[in-house]
Amino acid sequence: MATTWLRPNVLGDPRAEADAKMLNAAFLETSDYRTLIETSDRIIVVGRRGTGKSALTASLEKYWRHVNSVQVVKLAPEEQQIMGVRPLIQLFGSKFSWIRAGARLAWRYAFMMELVNCISHRYRFSTTEESDFLKHRADLWNRLGASVFDRYRKLLKEKIDTAQGPEERIAELPIALDLTKVENNLLTTCADSGELVVFLIDCLDEGYEPDDTGVGFVDGLVQAAIDIKTHFRGVRPIVFLRDNIFRAVEKLDPDYSRNIEGHVLRLHWDPELEVEHVTHLIEVLLSGGSPDSLVQQDFLILDDARAVLRALYSVGFVGVRDPVTGKFIFCHDGRAPDREFN
Ligand SMILES: Nc1ncnc2c1ncn2[C@@H]1O[C@H](COP(=O)(O)OP(=O)(O)O)[C@@H](O)[C@H]1O
Ligand SMILES: [Mg+2]
């Protein structure tokens, strides 16, 4: 007989990525979630591990995918993709400000190419003079790889001119990318369309190393996100950052207070919110909203440890499921306790 153990973590997996079914049923719409939907000035979202950055990414993606005039691009690198970018970023030299400058230029280009991918099907886009040039650039960009991080790495590999020193490599990059022309053409074709493109960028802690290369790469991305947001009214990047990475950016970037600070939303996850979260999950499970029909549990909220012991004693809490009858068989006989616990 096949044995099915009751899932021990009935309240969900500790990481949002592995918890998609539960999140779908039981995402708690926190005030941070509403802030991100209703306002547009906070584009850097900072929180410790487990404060719900990936849960927010998934839920915002789901929300915006259902809005007609919005397109969503989600970027979540895997460890090896960040590892692969590092040696190329190091070609910008040993100074933090150089690494940041090079990474930022390439990210600006990457954002704009992805923007072309999002808007190239629009009627207004195809009627503009600039569309052929931009489409051609986007075709070349798309051929660089299957995901944005792969394309980014290949772009650096192709466009960094290693014959020169680091400072000149940085100075040559926007010329090699035709950055100003791309930007101007895109501004013309994007103007006043009334549509929104949202970039959700999560998981930058995958493959992250806390050195100048790692921090400069993230800082370059953050700065480029701010650049894109400032230039293009219809673009809304949101970068989710773990607090340790954000602190490193804060420490190393001399322009932090001038450029970054005002765009930050710090996630809070206090005990009150935790209680609300658990209560909400229990409600969802009790109302049959559980995504996993195998899990059927009684929930008791008890106010002292002895009551918990009594309750556990009287109910079997480990069981097997008979797949033929669909019944659960518990290891305990279910008798009420015949003694007091002192
Ligand atoms: N608003 C929320 N509603 C329901 N579950 C949440 C919420 N925020 C986070 N969680 C859950 O908490 C856990 C940790 O969240 P996660 O998004 O992985 O954190 P982070 O990405 O910040 O490390 C996951 O199981 C996730 O599903
Ligand atoms: Mg996460």
What pLDDT sits at residue 299? 58
- SS3 readout for the chain: CCCCCCCCCCCCCCCHHHHHHHHHHHCCCCHHHHHHHHCCCCCEEEECCCCCHHHHHHHHHHHHHCCCCEEEEEECCCHHHHHHHHHHHHHHCCCHHHHHHHHHHHHHHHHHHHHHHHHCCCHHHHCCCCHHHHHHHHHHHHCCCCCHHHHHHHHHHHHCCCCCCHHHHHHHHHHHHCHHHHHHHHHHHHCCCCCEEEEEECCCCCCCCCCHHHHHHHHHHHHHHHHHHHHCCCEEEEEEEEHHHHHHHHHHCCCHHHHHHHHEEECCCCHHHHHHHHHHHHHHHHCCCCCCCCCCCCCCCCCCHHHHHHHHHHCCCCEEEECCCCEEEECCCCCCCCCCCC
Between β-strands 235-242 and 327-330, what pairing exists: parallel, antiparallel or unpaired? unpaired
What pLDDT sits at residue 195? 86
49 lines ligand 1 (CB under 6 A): yes
What pLDDT sits at residue 315? 60
CA distance 15 to 17: 6
CA of 231 to the centre of ligand 1 (A): 32
Instruction: Choose which residue among 13, 27, 240, 243 to substitute to test ligand 1 binding: the one with the highest number of ligand atoms within 8 A of its C-beta.
Output: 27
Mean pLDDT in each 10-residue stretch from start to end of the chain (342 residues)?
A: 41 70 81 95 94 95 95 96 97 96 98 95 84 96 97 97 95 97 92 86 96 97 97 96 97 93 91 79 70 51 71 59 59 59 64
235 and 229 in contact (C-beta within 8 Å)?
A: yes
Q: Return the sign of the alpha-carbon dihedral for residues 66, 32, 287, 9.
A: positive
What pLDDT sits at residue 172? 97
49 and 242 in contact (C-beta within 8 Å)?
A: yes
262 lines ligand 1 (CB under 6 A): no
What pLDDT sits at residue 16? 75
What pLDDT sits at residue 84? 97
Distance set, CA 22 to CA 5, 56, 113 (Å) = 18, 13, 34
Distance set, CA 259 to CA 100, 104, 249, 283 (Å) = 13, 13, 12, 43
CA distance 253 to 139: 34
CA of 273 to the centre of ligand 1 (A): 12
Spell out the domain ranges in the chain: 40-266
185 lines ligand 1 (CB under 6 A): no
What pLDDT sits at residue 23? 75
